[in-house]
Amino acid sequence: PPPAREEHFPVNFTVTNLPYTAALGNSNSKKFIATNKTLTHLVDSLLQKSSIGPAYIGCKVTAFRSKENRDHTGVDVICSYRDKPSDAKFSRVKVYHELSNMTDGITKLGHYSLNSQSLYVNG
């Protein structure tokens, strides 16, 4: 059988109770590192429970962006999974719906509040 390929898909969302600061724009700052670690853990735990779970490799935050005049923070994440021809085809629509369900309709991620219109999977 052909070998599994590692595939990537972007996930983006906006956190409404995390004001954007310059520190979030600096990947070496304590604030960036701590927020990155927390959000990566939260997104990881959801995707491990989703239909992509068995093939899921991991995610990493690539950027935090200022939204709504710095009141909110946009989060850009890149996730990876093993794509084996024998596996069910990755469905971004299905994963989007699963993430939506697991975040109370895209409103909660751990102690973070989300903009319910902001989730994009492979947008």
**pLDDT of the chain, 123 residues: tens digit per residue:** 677 789 999 999 999 999 999 999 999 999 999 999 999 999 999 999 999 999 999 999 999 999 999 999 999 999 999 988 777 778 889 999 999 999 999 999 999 999 999 999 984
- pLDDT of res. 9: 94
- pLDDT of res. 114: 97
Of 63, 79, 75, which is closest to residue 8 (Cα–Cα)? 79
Residue 52: count other Cβ atoms within 10 Å of its Cβ.
22
> Which domains can be identified in the chain, with CATH numbers?
5-121 (3.30.70.960)
